[in-house]
Amino acid sequence: MTFDLLVTDATVVNADGRTRAHVGVTDGVVTALLSACSAPPAAVRTLDAAGRLLLPGGVDGHCHVDQVTGAYASLDTYEIATVGALHGGTTTILDFGIPADAGERPIDALRRKLDLTRGARCDVGLHGSVVTWDDTVPGQLDEMAGLGVRSVKLYTTNRGTTMADDDTILRVMREMVRLGGLAIVHSEHDAIVVDRTAACAADDHVGIEDLHRTRPEISEDASVREILAVASYTGAPVYFVHQTTPGAVDAVAEARARGQVVLSETCPHYLLLDDAVYSSATPEKYACCPPVRPRAAADGLLARLGRGAVDVVSSDHSCYDLAQKREHRHDVRRMPHGLPGVETRMPAAYTAMVTRAGLPVERFVEAFSTAPARVHGLPTKGAVAVGYDADLVLLDPDESRVVDGSRLHQGTDFSPFDGMELRGWPSTVVAGGSVVLDEGTFHDPGPVGRYRERTAFRDPARRSADPVLGAVVGAAR
């Protein structure tokens, strides 16, 4: 057999260990891992890894693409976001069909996104979202499940736009139990956020330099504990997006110890940055919710990531530019929040986890690819192994680059990591067996991305088959 592609002499790093191998690819799938001591077999194309690290392509379970939120539209398309993703070693992204307001039906928001995914350059999956409960929601969730979507985002904040009330959250959780799905929750205590923001506004301190004061850590910790209680009551598995405080992660760990199925995600900006950025010359580059926290919180998150209490590092990519960020920089209530990051997730997470915190590359691979593939029901992603998709990233751990967001490919003019020297950039990226980044040169594959239907989070009939158990075992290694 002649392989379509052969990556020779690679140090293959998976979440569970590493091996030196030649990796053979046929029809977009990894079909052989051969001893690196053997002579490389024939292949249509050969890439020499020369001992460099070969990782599974990144799975970014939390991206916002071509999104309209209130008065602001993000600036990217699926083409732009996925070209950025591929440049950054991510070969699968998941986006959300979020209703524009309480008037849009969740299934319509999802189908709108499904149409847009046709422009994607890499594989794409979707999550749903519910803002307001009514009697048609269960039927809409059945329809979503038929489209391979069994995860629903719920916001506990953003009153008047995407916020779901307590009844909606509880009922959607029950539906997720019925469908073997996953409740995905943005957890900040809305009343605390609204009260604190009003107090800051009364003092005329509600500009972007005050963002971290308007959304204190307790607003996240309190909301996470409330959601965990409702999850315990309904029996629903819950995935918390962008956890930023040690207290919130510890609440998740305690719930797990009690037997709840709960997952924790954080983002690179909560690991690498601290709230001194709001005193910098360009605080608008860090307009995100929750805000960037004090250094002690970031270090606390890294420690918890190291011991597996945080499962996943996603980007929470949102493409706005500095002009949009600056239009209402004196009032955080009117600014577009969210940071570009699909392209920098790999180097930013690698630098935080491996270079700074000294964690093994295997732990990085788990958070960057393996855990998100498992949690989001993508069984052929997340490992370099026979039978898995040929989504491969070649990495030279000694190479570092200084970030210049204006020269990245994310469709905006800045990065929250501007000026930082990061390691962990991909030099070559293979997506579905095609070499899309070849030692730094990009070859646009065209709109080849596949919409990926996702398997159930767990079989509703077999509650014990919990993907999270894999995460716990993986963390114990």
Q: Which residues bind Zn ion (CB under 5 A)?
A: 316
| Residue for token pair 């392209």 | 343
Complex with Zn ion: residue 63 or 429, whichever CB lies closer? 63
> CB 95 → Zn ion: shortest distance, Å?
10
Shortest distance in whole angstroms from residue 313 CB to Zn ion: 14
Instruction: Specify the DSSP class assigned to residue 154.
Output: E
Q: How far is the CB of 101 from Zn ion (least distance, A)?
A: 17
* 353, 330 Cβ separation under 8 angstroms: no
In the complex, minimum distance from the CB of residue 288 to Zn ion, in angstroms, rounded to a whole number: 9
What is the three-class DSSP state of 65?
A: coil
Q: Which tokens belong to 374?
A: 């498992």
Q: How far is the CB of 356 from Zn ion (least distance, A)?
A: 24
State which residue, 67 or 82, has the beta carbon closest to Zn ion.
Answer: 67
* Residue placing its CB nearer to Zn ion in the complex, 98 or 383: 98
Min dist CB 187 to Zn ion, Å, is 12
Phi, psi (degrees; rounded to nearest 5) at 190:
-60, -40
- Closer CB to Zn ion, 311 or 316, in the complex: 316
- The CB-of-62 to Zn ion minimum distance in angstroms stands at 6
User: Dihedral sign, CA of 342, 343, 348, 350?
Assistant: positive
CB of 290 to Zn ion, least distance (A): 11
Residue 347 identity:
P
DSSP 54-81: EEEPEEE--EE-S-EETTEE-S--HHHH
- Spatial CA neighbour of 152 closest among 73, 102, 94: 94
Reported residue count of the chain is: 477
Name the closest residue to Zn ion (Cβ): 316
| Pick from 314, 454, 327, 449: nearest CA to 372 | 314
**How far apart, in whole angstroms, are the C-alpha atoms of residue 84 and residue 132?**
33
Phi-psi region of 92 (alpha: psi -120 to 50; beta: other; left: phi over 0): beta
Distances (CA, A) of 54 to 42, 156, 193, 351, 353: 20, 39, 43, 17, 17
Longest CA–CA span in the chain (Å) reads: 73
Which residues are 264's β-sheet partners?
Answer: 240
Q: Which residue, 76 or 316, is less far from Zn ion as judged by CB?
A: 316
Task: Report in angstroms how near the CB of residue 61 gets to Zn ion at its nearest.
Answer: 10
Q: Closest CB to Zn ion among 9 and 316?
A: 316
Distances (CA, A) of 33 to 29, 89, 140, 361, 389: 12, 21, 43, 20, 13
Helical (H) or strand (E) element with 401? strand 400-402
Per the structure block, which two tokens stand in for 232?
């315990």
Burial class (CB in 10 A: 0-12, 13-18, 19+), 34: middle
Q: Which is nearer to Zn ion, 210 or 316 (CB)?
A: 316
**Shortest Cβ distance from residue 97 to Zn ion (Å)?**
13
Q: Which is nearer to Zn ion, 217 or 316 (CB)?
A: 316
Q: Which lies closer to Zn ion via its Cβ, residue 316 or residue 389?
A: 316
In terms of CB distance, is 162 or 214 closer to Zn ion?
Answer: 162
